[in-house]
């Protein structure tokens, strides 16, 4: 148990490590983004996404936001920098994925260094007739690093129907380790009605063992397996937990204890990074509530800024 007493809040700079990118930037009809999905026009997707909709007050799709709107929201929230992880949930071509990378890179380029991007890969096509190409994802990752200087690669196991411990991902993990890129993985029960089992964080244990130099960021905390996420962060030097898509007022108790160094006296504040999931989450409210968590100012500074700065904006990044 730490002897430090909670502060009256944290007033320092903030880095948001997860903005929800399908609603950021623009789509080019001549070269459409792979994350553009007509959820409103498909009854099956309407059912799947009913807990995950992002619409205006009249029910129409929310408009996409440009870099000026993103930076204005960051300024209003006290967020100095943010990450833009590419996310492709449903089948897409490699060309569609690269279109997402290009659009996010345009936002980052216009941000004055305040935004950085995270790549993704085309979702795997499963089955004996697909003739898997294990190296296609590697080529996509290397292109994104060379062209846009991405800081990581993001995967979404549940909608892709494949756990993060599957051999199909291993060449991508090797490329990430070689290129000093962070692996970002969704963990925990998904908001959309996708199966949850593939996002159990325990599937990342063997990945961390096989690739000890690979930085792994577990997005969305990992509930209802928060204790497993915490144990993995304590067990593996390069495993981190990201608070994206959670209101700070609802952080699980296991995570709060870990951040406060009350979990077996493990200094967990250095293994957790803050994020909002804007625009699905209100950035201003999320930052405000995180600043007032019952932690010391030093712990909050690590969670809300210092670790993310070291991982993604540090020397050589």
Q: 14-312 adopts what CATH topology?
A: TIM Barrel (3.20.20)
pTM score, whole prediction? 0.93
Q: What is the C-alpha separation between 118 and 108, in angstroms, rounded? A: 11
- The tens-digit pLDDT sequence of the chain (317 residues) is 444 555 568 999 999 999 999 999 998 888 999 998 777 778 888 888 777 777 777 777 778 899 999 999 999 999 999 999 999 998 899 999 999 999 999 999 999 999 999 999 999 987 777 778 889 999 999 999 999 999 999 999 999 999 999 999 999 999 999 999 999 999 999 988 889 999 999 999 999 999 999 999 999 999 999 999 999 999 999 999 999 999 999 999 999 999 998 788 788 999 999 999 999 999 999 999 999 999 999 999 999 999 999 999 987 67
Residue spans of the domains in the chain: they are 14-312
pLDDT, residue 255, reads: 97
pLDDT, residue 9, reads: 84
97 and 307 Cβ atoms separated by less than 8 Å: no
């Amino acid at each position: 148990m730490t002897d430090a007493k909670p502060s009256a809040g944290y007033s320092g700079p903030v880095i948001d490590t997860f903005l929800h990118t399908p609603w950021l930037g623009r789509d080019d009809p001549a070269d459409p983004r792979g994350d553009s999905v007509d959820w409103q026009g498909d009854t099956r997707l309407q059912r799947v996404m009913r807990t995950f909709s992002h619409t205006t007050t009249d029910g129409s799709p929310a408009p996409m936001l440009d870099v000026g709107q993103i930076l204005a929201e960051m300024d209003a929230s006290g967020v100095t920098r943010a990450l833009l992880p590419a996310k492709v949930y449903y089948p897409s071509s490699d060309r569609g994925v690269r279109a997402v990378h290009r659009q996010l890179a345009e936002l980052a380029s216009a941000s004055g260094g305040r935004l950085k991007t995270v790549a993704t890969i085309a979702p795997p096509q499963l089955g004996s007739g697909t003739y898997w190409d294990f190296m296609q994802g590697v080529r996509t990752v290397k292109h994104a690093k060379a062209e846009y200087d991405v800081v990581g690669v993001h995967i979404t196991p549940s909608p892709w129907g494949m756990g993060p411990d599957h051999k199909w991902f291993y060449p991508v993990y090797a490329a990430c380790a070689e290129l000093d890129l962070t692996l970002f993985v969704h963990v925990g029960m998904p908001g959309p009605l996708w199966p949850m089992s593939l996002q159990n964080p325990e599937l990342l244990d063997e990945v961390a063992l096989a690739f000890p130099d690979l930085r792994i960021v577990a997005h969305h905390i990992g509930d209802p397996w928060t204790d497993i996420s915490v144990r993995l962060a304590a067990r593996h030097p390069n495993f981190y937990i990201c608070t994206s898509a959670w209101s700070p007022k609802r952080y699980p108790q296991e995570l709060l204890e870990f951040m406060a160094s009350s979990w077996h006296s493990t200094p967990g504040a250095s293994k957790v990074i803050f994020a909002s999931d804007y625009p699905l989450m209100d950035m201003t409210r999320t930052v405000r509530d995180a600043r007032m968590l019952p932690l010391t100012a030093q712990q909050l500074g690590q969670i809300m800024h210092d670790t993310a700065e070291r991982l993604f904006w540090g020397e050589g990044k």
